[in-house]
Structure formats: structure tokens, C-alpha cells
Structure 1
Amino acid sequence: MSSTPEHPGDGRIAVLASRVGADEKRLFDALDRRGVPFDHVDTRGQWFTAGRRPMPWTHVLNREIGQTRAAYAARCLAAAGVEVVNSADATEVCGDKWRTTLALEAAGLPTPRTALGLTPQAALDALDHIGYPALVKPLVGSWGRLVVRLPDRAAAEGVFEYVGALPGPQSHLGYVQELIDKPGRDIRAVVVGGELLGAVYRTGEFWRTNVALGARTRPCEASPEITKLSVEAASAVGADIAGVDLIEDRDGRLLVLEVNHRVEFSGFQSAFGDRVDVADRIVEHLRERAQR
């Protein structure tokens, strides 16, 4: 592997990130404050050889934004004997919406009615079963990008006609889900080391409530149900550090939408201020893992 710092054996932590945003800067500051030696590793310059090789880090915090690089980097580092947080398994499950849905369902957690069509036509048939309005989502993606609201069969046929013309077999799979009539908001909960740090409401002007799309955040009281669903959802996908997205239907029932392995917490942090320091809690978790 190239671009490897010369610090073997000193208990250093690597932070994988090809893009350094506000959250990564908070993590770097927290590591510095706690006196934890670390290296920022840009995955775009990394390569690995097969087999177990000495590494300069005992633990790695995987903050890589590219799903494919994040998953393969985690696999390569784990094969070399490095402990990666989140693990390669968790990264791969969380990075695929269908695999996440299967994990949540296997754990008995409530989720929206969801189906996977193996062809565009099969996805249309699945939508007839689920009913309209509905959503079609990319299997891999974040920030609400490429999520399309389908009000009826005619709209769905137009979308899947386009989908059928896309290159690549994965593009032809249709992940479809019922559209929950939510009260103009959803809930983002942050879980670290099996503990809920807190939850926020995300409120947007449209049906998508991603902070990346301009949604506003405010603290949400962490009820026993929110705590239970969030912790169990993180456990279901095997994530040490997770952003769990919950949604309420009009009857107040909570459903788990998805689990994010690379949780972005700027909106959460701005809502809680000094009451919760997410970056510091993540660093403390890494230190605890390193001491086991």
C-alpha cells in the first residue's frame, strides 16, 4: 500500500476520508484535544496488496464518502488485521438500501412496505401490490438524490421506461417503497457504541427532509420507543456508529427508514449545541475499542 505514514506500533488511528468536511474537522479537533495520534488518509491515493501485511494503525475510522471505496478499503484493512469502524460488513449493508431493509426486517423492526423488482416491469408489478403514492429509490445513494415520488401508475411507467434504458444491470433493479403520509418531518437519531446520543427532527419544505437539501433541525425528545428502535436498528446492521432515520405516520407510529454508516452530524450538532459533542463521543468510542 502506498502513502503509508512511518508510525508503526504507536497505536495510531487512521481517518479515511477523500473529502474533509465540517464533521471530519470536528473529529480531527476531538482527536487532537484527547491527544490521540492519528493520520488523515485520503483513499484516492491508496492501494493494497493481497494478504496480511503490517499496518501503521491499530484502528481506522472510515469516513470515506464514496461507497465503493469505503467498502473495499474496509475489506482490505480488515484483511491486514486492522480494526475498522464501521466494519466492512456494516458498510456494505448500510450502503445498499435493500440489504438494509432485509436486516431491519430480520430484526423485527417496523419499516415501510418495500419491494425489490429485478426488472423495471417487475418493479411496476410490485408497485401495483404496494399501492400509490409510492417512492422509487436508488439502491446506493444519499442526501435524497434520485429519489422519485410516484403519484400513480402513469408516472411510474414513465420513470421505469427511462430506468430500462440505463446501462448496467444494477440500474434496472427497482427498489420501491410506500410513501408514508408523515407530518412534514422525520427523525434522525445518532447511535455510538450501542448508546443513543440523541435525536433531532428534520423539517423541510418538501417531502424530502435531508439536511443536505436544506432541511432544518431541532431537538427531539428521545422517547423510550425512539431509543429502542434506534439502538436496535444500529445493531441490526452491525454499525458501531450510525445515523438512524425514523419516520412517523399520521397515527404516530414510528418506522425505521434506513441506517447510515457514515453519519453526517452537523445538523444534529447545531440543534444540540454544547449539550452533546458527537465527535468527542466517537473518539471516546474508538479509544475504548482500542483498549479492549
Structure 2
Amino acid sequence: MLLNGVGYRYSQRAPWVLDNVRLELEPGSLTRIGGYNGSGKSTLMRIAAGVHRPGRGSVTGRPARAAYVPGQLPAVPFRVQDYLLHLGRIQGLSESEAEQRLQAGLERFEAWGYRKHRIGDLSRGTAQKVAIVQALLGEPELLILDEAWTSLDAAGQGELDDVARTVRDGGGIVVYVDHDAQRLAEDATAAYLVRDGSLQSAAAADFAVPTALIDLEGAPEPWPLPGRARPLADGAVRVSIAAEHSDRLLRELLTQYPTTHVRTVRMAEGSAE
């Protein structure tokens, strides 16, 4: 698959968000894309997935079975099961095939109990699991993960890591964006940064982002929310999460688990403590 000379802008008079981007993606590859907020990395991901058409340049060799997982599933007015069955039919699955795959996916991500819930009533994390399951229904040969880990709990993040590796190991193409500097770092076959509209080769250190370290007393076990949790010697728990997501995490934590006490919140660079 080749993105060649790709450019994109959001209106005729707007500046080019992407300009002359070239990216070659081989079967069996797992490619990381990074860049600061607003740099154009999500735009690039949507072009790779076929959601956006480039303003100039071309995309060739895109696999027939492509799937895109955004950072947040829109609150579509469907029950989870109905939504997934509908998408399965769109992808050419029989009703029995779609039912089997959606059940397997929802059970894998511990969301089977929500199959009759309306998507708009789900938590962000559960809705994100539905977004992942819908992407996997068609057994994609190209999987685009655009901050797809952000709202998942630790178990869900681990499952999505395994999904990415499985698609790659099966000869598929995986392209991903994530704020965790360690996310699939040892598995990635290539890494790039979007900078000033162009694509540049990157090293692991280029993906370090400010991280919030949150020490908690009485934290729920196992840790059910986004972020990486590890026990401390005195029985407390330290959660690390990208700083830009820390406020939302604290709101969710104190709303759902009001007996948890926040001992300290401090910032660190990357994953350093």
C-alpha cells in the first residue's frame, strides 16, 4: 500500500495540513504515527483508512478489507447488538456469521452484557470496545487505530495490543496512534512523526509525552479505568496516564468510586517516574 505525494486541506483557502506525504506500508507491518495535537496525524490516519480522500496525491494498493477505529465512537441511536449486526451485513456477512463474530468480540472485550444497551447510554470505555468489535467483524487486512486505546481499561488495552499483533502476524497492515510512549514499542516495524505537514522518521524517544502520576488510596482492584496502574510498597496504587487525559480520568474515578482517595498528582516526562 502506498500513499504518494498526499496532501490535504479542509477548505480551498485553508493551509495544507498535509503536504507531499509519502508512506509505504508492507504486508505484515505495524507502523506508529506520532505528532503534536493538530499536526495532522489523525487526518493522515483517515486518508490511509479511506475515510478522507486526499486533496492531492494518491493512495494505491489499499487492501479490500480495511477497518478504522477512532478515539471515540459516535453516539449512534442503535442498540449494540443491532448496530453490529447491521455493520456485519454491510460487510457481506450472513446473519449467523455476524452473530458469531459479534458475540466472540464482545466476550473478548468483556462487553457481552451490554449487547442490548443503546450505544449512547454506554460509558466511553464500553463504547470504545464496541468500536473495536465493529472494526474486527470483517477480519481486516488493514487496521487503522487512531488513539483507540485512550478510553479503555487496562484489560481492554492489553486485548487491543494483542489484536494489533495478530493482524500484523497474519500478514495484515496495522497503523496506529497512541499517547503511551511504550505502546507496542517493541512490536512496531516503523515509526514516523507528522511535523509541519510532512512525515519524518522517528525514534522511540520522539513519542514521549507529559505523563500524570496519580497516587491513590483505596483504588478499585483490578484497575478498571484507562492508565497503567501498579501497587506501591505501602498499599497505595500509582496510575500513570497521558497528562491531557488526567482530568477526565479523575472525574470518572471519583464519580464511579467515591471512596477512593487521591493522595498526590504530579507530572513526569514520558513514562519516567
Same fold by TM-score greater than 0.5: no
TM-score normalized by the length of structure 2: 0.27
Higher-RCO chain (CA-CA 8 Å, sequence separation at least 6)? 2
TM-score normalized by the length of structure 1: 0.26
Which structure carries more helix by proportion?
A: 1
